[in-house]
Structure 1
Amino acid sequence: MAKGLTKRSVDYSQWYNELVMKADLAENSAVRGCMVIKPYGYAIWEKMQQQLDKMFKDTGHENAYFPLFIPKSFFSKEADHVEGFAKECAVVTHYRLKNDPDGNGVVVDPDAKLEEELIVRPTSETIIWNTYKNWIQSYRDLPIKCNQWANVVRWEMRTRLFLRTAEFLWQEGHTLMQPSKRHWRKQRP
């Protein structure tokens, strides 16, 4: 057992946080709920990512990237999808800051209001499926095997380094397979 750590059996949460700090993997950020992944911690992430990336590519998956800003109208169409996430999303309403006329730093420029609010939601199926509908004209365009490496933003109330933070590194697959011929025949008019 590392010297100076709380015993895991006494306070697991405290032990875990102390272990991450003592191993010099990460630290809390000036932004509430976020972390800074230190070089040694990031090196571990890179090794995991490299290994997983090879495994995904061996199955025919390709890396792609989708926007992290999702138009609010997309979420409105997918009310069921949003239900579990609605409370933990950040919303972008403006696209510019300006100097505060009173000299107190910067303020949101009221003239820079977006026409439609954007939800900060990386890996949202709403933007991915909106994209896929442009890629698929028939079953012959399938399968689509995409993998995405991204930063995810979720408003977490109780955070723990690497396990639950407001922003974290993530991998997510988005695969569409070709239906069986029997299924396809049933669906045709």
Structure 2
Amino acid sequence: MEPSLFYISSPPRPQPQPQPQPKHSSDWSFEENKLFENCLAEFNLDSPDLFEKIGLRIPTKTVEDIKKQYEKLVEDVKMIESGFVPLPNYQNISPNPPTNNSTRPNPKKRGIPWTKEEHQNFLAGLDKYGKGDWKSISRHCVQTKNPTQVASHAQKYFQKLEKCNSAQKYFHKLENCTSAQSSTPRSIWK
């Protein structure tokens, strides 16, 4: 006769399996929304499977949820660009921020300088996409920089161009007024 098993305590229970999170929720957490925005910046918006790709990154949302979120975002951007969204009232904020360094946990980091190749790609993107389409220039021409960095570089570039143009106009007027001194080499003015 074979020995039978007797349990002194209750028999062992199988371990409960973790329940998957619901695949459909209309509320978007901060993390989900940030991930959604990062996907939009990373993926080609003209891709036919854009929402499916995003769905792989945000498993708690259905493709339909992602499409609705995208439509809301597009509508929000249209409202902002058309001026229907009022600007916040910043009157309560002090015009002079505190200068104490202890209030700023991380000091501002300096950016990495642009290489000549990046600048040449920026100029090519500027010709192709025009002034203001920093996202396309970043995505297609200067892939090592994000749209904010491209916009900042463009701002500095156009300021420098304006400065050079105004200096040239000044020196051109100066040369016309003093034709006797027109033999002065320009290199001393640079």
Q: TM range, normalised to the smaller chain?
A: under 0.3
Flag the structure with higher helix content.
Answer: 2
Flag the structure with higher strand content.
Answer: 1
Instruction: Find the structure with the greater CA-based Rg.
Output: 2
Between 1 and 2, higher relative CO (CA 8 Å, sep ≥ 6) is seen in: 1
- State the TM-score, normalized to the length of structure 2: 0.23
